[in-house]
Structure 1
């Protein structure tokens, strides 16, 4: 990766308490939170923009339902007063949130995306970012997902689901890098 833009935005997707609920199942990448913390600290120290995205579910059974602890940000990822927070009701952080407008108003053209779930909100947001013309990076070791069954009932490991989601993004939408490469570009 070439150098990070001085205003490259870090998008932290859905790092809320509910993502740790046992009913979501087995996950991959147990060090993702550590990588996210390292990148967040770097962004804050370099005074680059940080954007926190919070999923607000309309499903009454969701771990992200408003008014319950699962909807709140994890303690390590609570936004600071000057950091942007966008709420979404769908996986895509750009859909009906005002995020695209906010980025354009600030002349931000480069996005670094991380968080959860790799094959859902991260992938959806990165696809939109790429389609909208943003120079998009997804930090593979700062994302994770869960085991998932396909429509035929076959169980796919979180590692396979994660790898395929990142591969899909790498085709046309985003560069896939690890946190070491992103920090080195800073």
Structure 2
């Protein structure tokens, strides 16, 4: 069984000053994936990235709250993480195993940080990883446009680290 993992769809990232590429389309895709997971009985996990006290994303900061546009159903597992890799120091692997999951579908933000490191770590933790090609995003950087970052990671991660699938082609 595969679980849906949504990374860091937080107010500070989605609605912050550096708007992510295709934010509204991504939210629609994530809502569709959540509905599909729900209908199939697949677990849904949402990670919130929390920083140290005194940082803009310190515990309790409104910037760490999940965006209201996500259509949560009430049975999701919401957890906090302090590292880009959602498996590091979170207990995520244990939670997945307790629910009978041997695979994880990775989505969310930011492509070059948390999405990348979580895809790479999933296999190391013994899980099959699927990256939804149109289910993750980031903002432009000084060196690269977001579109290039997303395309690069879809190409780089495919194969050795995960399968890359369009949302419309995935079923739980």
Does structure 1 residue 65 correspond to structure 2 residue 58?
yes
The equivalent position to 1:15 in structure 2, one of 9, 27, 41, is: 9
Please state whether the residue corresponding to 2:158 is helix, strand or coil.
helix
Does structure 1 residue 133 correspond to structure 2 residue 126?
yes
User: 2:37: which partner in 1?
Assistant: 43
Residue 163 of structure 1: CA displacement?
Answer: 1.2
User: 2:155: which partner in 1?
Assistant: 167
Please state whether the residue corresponding to 1:176 is helix, strand or coil.
strand
* Native 8 Å contact 1:51 1:84 kept in 2: yes
Q: For each residue in 1:26-68, what CA deviation from the matched residue of structure 2 results, as whole angstroms up to 9, or x when unmatched?
A: 5323411111111111111222111111111116343x33222
User: 1:3: which partner in 2?
Assistant: none
Deviates more, 1:166-175 or 1:35-44: 166-175
Please state whether the residue corresponding to 1:76 is helix, strand or coil.
coil
* Native 8 Å contact 1:79 1:85 kept in 2: no
User: 2:145: which partner in 1?
Assistant: 157
User: 2:108: which partner in 1?
Assistant: 115
User: 1:82: which partner in 2?
Assistant: 75
Residue 76 of structure 1: CA displacement?
Answer: 2.9
Root mean square deviation of aligned Cα: 1.8
Q: What count of residue pairs does the alignment treat as equivalent?
A: 171
Q: What TM-score do you get using the length of structure 1 for normalisation?
A: 0.84
* Native 8 Å contact 2:27 2:70 kept in 1: no
Whole-angstrom CA distance in 2 between matches of 1:45 and 1:134: 22
Unaligned runs of 5+ in 1: 1-6, 150-154
Please state whether the residue corresponding to 2:139 is helix, strand or coil.
coil
Whole-angstrom CA distance in 2 between matches of 1:86 and 1:107: 18
Does structure 1 residue 92 correspond to structure 2 residue 80?
no
Cα distance 1:59–1:28, how it changes in 2: closer, same or farther (>3 A)? farther
